[in-house]
Structure 1
Amino acid sequence: MKRRMKMRENEEDEKESARDIGRERTSESDRERLYRLSEHQKRKKMSTAIARQRLVAQSEIDRLSSLLSIPEKTREGSMKIYREAWENDLIHGRSIEKILAASMYMACRKHNVPRTLDEIEDATRVGRKDIIKTCKLLANRLGLRLVPTSPLEYISRFCAKLNLKKHVEERAREIVQKALEKDITSGRGPTGIAASAIYIAAILCDDRKTQKEVAEATGVTEVTLRVRYKEIARELGIKVV
């Protein structure tokens, strides 16, 4: 009798042990399943956040392109620069607005679409110093070349803003071309040179604009305009009355 009772006890112990092992295996399996589920949810959240951020970036670039009358090719170029910045982890810890503003400005420079820093600043509310700093960062880290702009690229747009006639625009182009040939423009901002040439051309063509009008239309200061136009007139031997 005692032997049978002992055998039953052993059998019960073995069954309980088997149940414990089963519970351990189930618990381990549950932990693995929960871990995989947690990782999946993390990846899903990250993927959703990335998609949302890219959607915001795309929407902002579309807004800027519309506001600044940016051609489709240039719009695509700015989005490409932004994507490269994202892929190279340049967005993390930095203002997306600054990256987008710099991307748009660099794309405009690359595609010869003349837009001034002031125009980008007004459209994005990002300061020009921050735009320049971010442009340099993108150029260095992404191996991009910040293409210099020519004063000639701004003549048509500035003349249109001032409602100047075609012959004034042509005269301004001639002045800029001569200034370029004599290397008067070296080290000077292209918008200041363009504004000064237009101011001089308007006087010569008897279609005068005040310094304030030209400064406001071109985004340069009246001080810069006065200094540059006098410098160009002197170097090219142009008499401005």
Structure 2
Amino acid sequence: MVANLTRQRERDPQSEENARESEGDRERICSECESATLIKSDDQGELVCKDCGLIVEETNIDHGPEWRAFNHSERQNKSRVGSPTTKTMHDKGLTTQIDWKNKDAYGRSLSPEKRNQIRRLRKWQERIRTKDAGERNLQFALSEIDRMASALGVPRSVREVASVIYRRTLSEDLIRGRSIEGVATGCLYAACRKEGIPRSLAEVAEVSRVERKEIGRTYRYVSESLGLEMRPVDPQEYVPRFCSELELSEAVQLKTKEIIQVTTEKGLLSGKSPTGYAAAAIYAASLLCSEKKTQREVADVAQVTEVTIRNRYQEQMEAMGIE
């Protein structure tokens, strides 16, 4: 006689461990020798009597997760139900795509007939992924944002923010009368500003297919229409990257930040370009630290003119009391 004695399990909202109690924790008795000493083999999925060796149960399946979690937040972080959604794709990454490789599941090359069939399927799949002009607009714009973001070397978070901003402009019909490329570039520049990633308009325009003036106009229009809050750009944000490209030491970076801080407190930054201001401070610091760089070298890295550097340099040196 086999008696299966099962304990009543209570569901605790604080801990789901009780709700997922394994078979090994239940009390069972061997049907052969009535011994209660049973051993669970996780590798074989079997429940074996220790005394007589009878396999009480076999091919057990563990329906619980393979990971361990001790609280609700850990369970949420470790749960996996497919790839995460993303705003950087027009379908949020929920659809699948036919692989471009002409190979089957075993890695064997497809026959010419099969290759032609797969090519037609790929073409139809691309067509049905966008159901109307709005989705085609979104698909093209998000691909442009991804292309420009890759060229600028900005993190994934900036692409997500830029995609969200563009989706808002599309839903509020702010794109009418403007080019998709221009609005996409303006959204990317706005995302860089919001995420504190220092990229100048000149740098963004360099990877875009539209002119710098149009990017600036579109950026202002989008940010004002959507009520985006943008903090002023701090010239110090450009210092590490510019100094790294110029191969300047840490001492020059520290001196540059000191020059920017002192002159900014005296109101010298008001109305000035942050990139030109940072470039002039770097030029001044390189001279003071005996790591001289020419105005042309600094101007090329910061994408400003030598005249701008000379003017800002003279103003900063006067404010610092250095001749």
Offset of 1:165 from its aligned partner? 1.2
Aligned equivalents of 2:293, 2:193: Cα separation in 1: 28
Aligned equivalents of 1:198, 1:92: Cα separation in 2: 42
**3-state SS of paired residue (1:112):** coil
Partner of 2:238: 154
Offset of 1:217 from its aligned partner? 0.6
Offset of 1:108 from its aligned partner? 0.5
Are residues 1:221 and 2:305 paired? yes
Aligned equivalents of 1:79, 1:238: Cα separation in 2: 47
Partner of 1:238: 322
Matching of residues 47-86 of structure 1 within 5 Å? 47-86=131-170
User: Which of residues 263, 266, 274 in structure 2 aligns to 1:182?
Assistant: 266
Offset of 1:51 from its aligned partner? 2.0
Partner of 1:22: none
Aligned equivalents of 1:154, 1:119: Cα separation in 2: 12
TM-score, normalisation: structure 1: 0.78
Aligned equivalents of 1:177, 1:94: Cα separation in 2: 39
User: Which of residues 208, 215, 224 in structure 2 aligns to 1:140?
Assistant: 224
The superposition leaves residues 2-22 of structure 1 with CA deviations (integer Å, 9 ceiling, x where unpaired) of xxxxxxxxxxxxxxxxxxxxx
Q: Which amino acid aligns with 1:131?
A: I
Aligned equivalents of 1:152, 1:93: Cα separation in 2: 37
Q: Which amino acid aligns with 1:204?
A: L
Partner of 1:211: 295
Partner of 1:124: 208
Q: Which amino acid aligns with 1:206?
A: S
User: Which of residues 181, 184, 188 in structure 2 aligns to 1:100?
Assistant: 184
Structure 2, unaligned stretches of length 5 or more? 1-127
Aligned equivalents of 1:131, 1:156: Cα separation in 2: 25
Offset of 1:225 from its aligned partner? 0.5
Offset of 1:82 from its aligned partner? 0.5
The superposition leaves residues 200-225 of structure 1 with CA deviations (integer Å, 9 ceiling, x where unpaired) of 00001111000111111101111111
Are residues 1:112 and 2:171 paired? no
Offset of 1:125 from its aligned partner? 3.0
**3-state SS of paired residue (2:247):** coil
Are residues 1:88 and 2:172 paired? yes
Contact 2:279 2:298 in 1 (8 A): yes
Offset of 1:135 from its aligned partner? 1.2
Are residues 1:193 and 2:257 paired? no
Using CA pairs under 8 Å that are at least 6 residues apart, name the structure with larger relative contact order, 1 or 2: 1
Are residues 1:171 and 2:252 paired? no
Partner of 1:41: none
Kindly tell me the number of residue pairs found equivalent between the two proteins: 196
The superposition leaves residues 71-117 of structure 1 with CA deviations (integer Å, 9 ceiling, x where unpaired) of 11111111111100000111122101110111011111111100011
Which has the higher Rg, Structure 1 or Structure 2?
1
Q: Which amino acid aligns with 2:155?
A: P
TM-score, normalisation: structure 2: 0.58
Aligned equivalents of 1:173, 1:189: Cα separation in 2: 16
Percent identical among aligned pairs is 45
**3-state SS of paired residue (2:131):** helix
**3-state SS of paired residue (1:170):** helix
